[in-house]
Structure 1
């Protein structure tokens, strides 16, 4: 990321980012220096707090994103200045305007008059000598423009009308290149524009899933991202036509008035009237079109940002879900015709046994399947049974529940857990899975993944491309490069927040550790296979290709249990080991006795151990780590207990209280698996007894929650749920928000349809389309 920005440019970038992330310019400059020097975000956030003043990983990620944008902006600013200078048209005022531009859009507005362009109507009019006619009309408003135009009729300009049209073309181009006017109109549109969608006649049936938007009107500034993406998709599929424009009755007149003010047409003379007609023409032919494109781009960007943010937060919650831990697990990948795939893994995740069971149609070998499960539970001491949540999940869960009743006395029944199998099939067919299980059938690899992701979701999910995990809304509609960057950052931050066991981690997990990557991860695994377990962190330096810089970045995030150096099992960085030993020495005890004994460390004052190298934040982190070495930030493992007798949507009745697991969180609410094949929706207004702006304030993916059924629509497979404690008429879940529809009149709010576009990847009916299985 190293750059050679000039000092003024660096200062300008630092000040801009400082405002964006609520920090001081000095903090930003320090962080930029570290990132440009090759440091990673997790390393800077954890081990360079003194340098950055304590910027956290969220601030640093935003800083990194904004840094790229602003450097592109500065490069474009320099290109524009050089281009205008080469044309001999750079003035002090123009240079000042360019220097003060804070966005790419503003820069491009300023550059428009100087930008090389194709031959335009205005150019042709100038070539035909019509610019003096325009100036004459502007200067002599009392004369009729038609009279003035008579003097400009030539062979190239055969009529008065042609002359006036040429003058109009010149003025329209000049107006369209007026940066100040463009900025005012863009601000006006951002405030006043409506986005309108109308169904294309004849597409009602084919586009039924977009029916909420067949006659929809909403303020551009207020429309939430998920609705914008739904309309954009409907327009792309040619189900609806879309318009972004001010109110046709009042807004358009005001927009034309803004254009006219530049021309000062208030006096009402013949020339003023002609100029006002040009303003109207310019708005309808030029500005309304170009601003539609601008606002469409901004809307798409805004919606993409929101969708990516939702996906990233859901992915983080999923990655940091509670691990069941090192317990023998039976993974079941449900299926009907092809059978239920079974895989037993031991506490370390090693595959012990696989099988295919056929308890359902067409073979109906229920007894055989049950006998096999009982046998595997007894033989391997199974602690947990992980059941994938795909097709036949509930049937498989019922079968397992009945099977556990058949266990002989004295054999403890395992705990059964329904596990998200999103991306399991993608992993099963991947090159990584083929290398990991070369002798295992593709279909059985999914069962292994399901078992392992219950033991340690993070360690297993890092093997799958983040997009394939599918916890986003409209993930296939957004900018895939930006989505990939955001999700990769989430994975990296999650892995480094938890830490990685150097001697047991897979190459995909190691690849996410700060400072490493696929090549070094493979080199570490190869060295481990050839020479045995690493005795210490320092031994990493023996790995081919792993130099001092990579060691600095990764060492603190790697753990070695029961090694030569006790601190290797903690998040204390090797560079601070001497400081940690000095802190321990102050307690007068052996380091192994101190670690994990908070009471021994209670009397220490962090201020007493500050040095020139290590400030107060690092000292506090070391003491906290000594109190709970290698602590895992993830929550304790807990499973939802589904209500007996409730197995299908038909079993649900309004008022029922159920326990479920949050499967996904969107801008408009949360989806909860309550054990009936179809996730229910808790609308954002039903998440709590208070106003909730963002559903993530209340729930996250993986949470076990208590919900109450408010509505059941069996035909459309829609389940309305509430988490509110109070009851009454207001308890019925609103259906999708209160956006104005039709001709500005709000309809009764509609909920996101379980099979409709508003759910994106979230509705069960669209799940297969939105996220690979």
Structure 2
């Protein structure tokens, strides 16, 4: 335990007490959202990111310890484990050093060095490495027997053994690693016969490219590696070979005789055959891993912003999935998101039934008392929006353009088939568009996060890491907002702290059989939902209009007794405390602090009583594009246009300006000064004003600048 805590402390710089208590809570199967929200006094108010870091380094340490156990067992079986080696392995704090220590003892495939040993050439190699022998020709002659037919073969075999020894030296490997880390360059050239390949043109910037590997940004490295994987370019990692060889020679060669000449040849062989191929790959893999981490971080931030996007709330919504030839799919949803009506209209080419479409939409809006219209932002979106804005509705109806990203994934999914078994994918897609206007979080959790399409190169990064990061983001978002247990889908319930897919199914089934939950206490009746699951989940599950007003708040049931005591002391009912700022401020906090309830927890309880179940998300706002801009041909340099950020990367952000092509605000055009973090200036789905800098119609590229109003 001490080693684990020390390891985490070294990597996070967090207080030792906070780490220790957090690890204990994690070992008790507590979730990150639960620890961050309800165990602040034990963790010293660590947030979810800090707790997530502890989880990450805890897992790294446990993986390292597991690998140590495997290696020690293997070395014991080979009977080569010395006390010194055992101590070195036990004291190792990183996987690379551990694998270097194990390298000389790995049971590898048949190598040139192993063949040379079998031919009895190891003693000759040791003589050469001693560097004090003369007349090596005569010495080598003694080893010409069996498979070895000449002195040259004997010396060559000895060099293979020496090359392997050099390859296994940790100091030499680390020297080369430093050079690769500091000065390696990545170079690319177009693959044979690929320069004219149409599919390769998007990678043409890398047909001949060179830069320092350590300064190659995440998005560029991932693009280069994708181009290589698709066979369009060849990639090399290069360093100054002479400098690398000289650095190795200085560590080994201590003489100027025949032995030194043989060692110099062995060094070159080791470098070219063993050291450089392995360590350059290691360096490229490390760069790829860092690029993955950056890309995953960008993607995670985007997903978080998307999930926590502004909800319109419980409104009666008409949703339209636009299209030309196949028409526009129209659905009407009630305030709870239930499908009430669906049909198809054909206002655009080739049918051009605009009058019929306007009449139909107008009558549906009246019949279903529609309060808002959601239009998907895909094909025919602008044309459909212009059509809707022509209609003179009897009542005020807000019109929104909604991102369709991932809607097609949802509409063909098992979840969608279960929700709407009697409707086809087009109807399901339209429903999804409408529901994500009402509550983006509740609808988007039904789609695998990486399919939402707001990242960069998400299909090229480590998929396990990506899934872990995105699952954590979704879990964090769901629990930060809270979930109405009586209306939540299985998908939403599955992300509640302590629940998961199986219990979510059980909660859903219980609700279907018994009707709405009337109290948090009733949650305990759900099959297989035990004490630990209740502890972890109850504070995040809300019950509106239940028996106990605290059930619709983030106050945890474990604190209900404390709230009742505060109310009793104030000679009031618990319901009298809720929203009563004046009374809540008068509560003497120090009176209720105890061994089990600290000041941080108490402050959270009082804040929650003031605004119970508060949704911190902003309200959805209507947005209108410039109606005069219909295609890329309408753009002119210097124009100021309204836009919506539809993707954020670490090199800038893409902006929907109401046409098919999104424009790019490069990171250098986000502000007049230096910008290190794109997210510090823009966020996903933010409504902004941009200035058109350049329009390349042939390549369909639009360069924009963030305009400061």
Distance 1:72 1:322 in 2: 40
- More off after superposition, 564-573 vs 293-302: 293-302
Over 3 Å counting, the alpha-carbon distance change for 1:125 and 1:446 in structure 2 is: same
Aligned pairs for 1:710-725 (under 5 A) are 710-725=693-708
| Deviation (angstroms), 1:50 | 1.9
In the alignment, what sits opposite 2:92?
101
Contact 2:18 2:44 in 1 (8 A): yes
| Aligned counterparts of 1:355 and 1:216: Cα–Cα separation in 2 | 53
Query: What pairs up with 1:458-607 in 2 under 5 angstroms?
Result: 458-607=441-590
Q: Does the residue aligned with 1:152 lie in a helix, a strand or coil?
A: coil
The verdict on how the C-alpha distance between 1:219 and 1:724 changes in structure 2, with shifts beyond 3 A counting, is: farther
Q: Deviations over 1:604-639 (max 9, x none)?
A: 443332111111110011111112111112123223
Instruction: Find the aligned partners of 1:667 and 1:150 in 2 and give their Cα distance.
Output: 63
Residue 610 of structure 1: aligned partner: 593
Aligned position for 1:181: 172
Task: Indicate whether 1:311 and 2:299 are aligned.
Answer: yes
Match of 1:258 in 2: 247
Shift of 1:517: 1.9
Q: How far 1:501 sits from its partner (Å)? A: 0.9
Contact 1:513-1:554 within 8 A present in 2 as well? yes
Distance 1:472 1:603 in 2: 48
* Distance in 1 (alpha carbons) for counterparts of 2:130 and 2:441: 73
CA distance in 2, matches of 1:139, 1:503: 80
Structure 1 distance, partners of 2:409, 2:530, is 34
Indicate conservation of the 8 Å contact 1:638/1:704, yes or no. no
1:89 to 2:80 alignment: yes
Which residue of structure 2 lines up, in the alignment, with residue 201 of structure 1?
192
Which of 193, 213, 217 aligns to 1:220? It is: 213
The 8 Å contact of residues 42 and 57 in structure 1, kept in 2 or not, is answered as: yes
Specify every segment of 5 or more residues in structure 2 that has no aligned partner in the other structure, as ranges. none
TM-score in terms of structure 2 length: 0.96
Structure 1 contact 387–393 (Cα < 8 Å) conserved: yes
Specify the SS of the correspondent of 1:221.
Answer: helix
Structure 1 CA distance for aligned equivalents of residues 219 and 636 of structure 2 = 29
For 2:115 and 2:490, locate their aligned partners in 1 and report how far apart those are by CA, in whole Å.
65
Aligned-pair distance for 1:665? 0.6
Structure 1 position 142, deviation (Å): 6.5
What is the SS of the residue equivalent to 2:214?
coil
Alignment match of 2:336 (pick from 348, 363, 369): 348
> Structure 2 CA distance, aligned partners of 1:124 and 1:504?
71
Secondary structure, counterpart of 2:554 in structure 1:
coil
User: How far 1:724 sits from its partner (Å)?
Assistant: 5.0
CA 1:348–1:215: 2 relative to 1, 3 Å: same
CA RMSD of aligned residues (A): 1.8
Equivalents in 1 of 2:607, 2:410: separation in Å?
A: 38
Tell me the secondary structure at the aligned position of residue 251 of structure 2: helix
CA distance in 2, matches of 1:289, 1:641: 56
- Pairing 1:433–2:421 present: no
Q: CA deviation at 1:275?
A: 1.6
Residues of 2 paired with 1:597 and 1:687: CA distance?
44
Identify which range, 651-660 or 320-329, moves more after superposition: 651-660
**Residues 628-657 of structure 1 deviation map (CA, whole Å, 9 limit, x = unaligned):** 111112123223321231222211112211
Which residue does the alignment assign to 1:737?
A: none
Please point out which of 294, 302, 322 is paired with 2:290.
302
1:76 aligns with 2:76: no
Question: Structure 1 length normalisation: TM-score?
Answer: 0.88
Q: Using the alignment, how far apart are the partners of 1:262 and 1:131 within structure 2?
A: 21
TM-aligned CA deviation for residue 147 of structure 1: 4.6
Matched, 1:128 2:119: yes
Aligned counterparts of 2:232 and 2:424: Cα–Cα separation in 1: 43
1: CA distance between counterparts of 2:274 and 2:506? 59
**Separation in structure 2 between the aligned mates of residue 28 and residue 628 of structure 1, nearest angstrom:** 31
Q: Tell me the distance in 2 between the aligned counterparts of 1:489 and 1:615.
A: 27
Per-residue deviation at 1:586?
Answer: 4.9
Q: Any idea what the Cα deviations from partners look like across 1:698-739, whole Å, max 9, x if unmatched?
A: 22212112211111112211111111549xxxxxxxxxxxxx
Residue 370 of structure 2 aligns to a residue in which SS? coil
Corresponding residue for residue 730 of structure 1: none
1:492 and 1:79 map into 2 onto residues whose CA distance is 34
Match of 2:356 in 1: 368
Q: Separation in 2 of the partners of 1:426 and 1:47?
A: 36
Distance, in Å, in 2 between the alignment partners of 1:639 and 1:706 is 15
Contact 1:345-1:352 within 8 A present in 2 as well: yes
Question: What is the CA-CA distance between 1:181 and the residue it aligns to?
Answer: 1.8
| Alignment check: 8 A CA contact 1:333 1:446 kept | yes
Distance in 1 between residues matched to 2:60 and 2:131, nearest whole Å: 47
Tell me, in whole angstroms, the C-alpha distance in 1 between the residues paired with 2:550 and 2:642: 42
Listed one character per residue, the Cα deviations across residues 423-451 of structure 1 (whole Å, up to 9, x for unaligned) are: 11121122221221122222111111100
Q: Show the counterpart of 1:643.
A: 626
Cα pair distance change 1:392/1:147, threshold 3 Å: farther
Q: Is the 8 A contact 2:647 2:653 kept in 1?
A: yes
SS at match of 2:479: helix
Distance (whole Å) between structure 1 residues aligned to residue 398 and residue 264 of structure 2: 77
- Tell me the equivalent position of 1:760: none
Are residues 1:399 and 2:384 paired? Answer: no
Q: Is residue 228–residue 234 contact of structure 2 (8 Å, CA) maintained in 1?
A: yes
Matches of residues 402-421 of structure 1 in structure 2 within 5 Å?
402=390, 404=391, 406-407=392-393, 411-421=394-404
Distance, in Å, in 2 between the alignment partners of 1:263 and 1:154 is: 29
**Counterparts in 2 of 1:96 and 1:180: CA distance versus 1, 3 Å:** farther
Which residue is equivalent to 2:604? 621
1:45 pairs with 2:54? no
Task: Give the total of aligned pairs.
Answer: 707
Q: What residue in structure 2 maps to residue 339 of structure 1?
A: 327
- Partner in structure 2 of residue 320 of structure 1: 308
Q: Which residue of 2 aligns with 1:699?
A: 682
Query: CA–CA distance in 2 between the matches of 1:142 and 1:307?
Result: 56
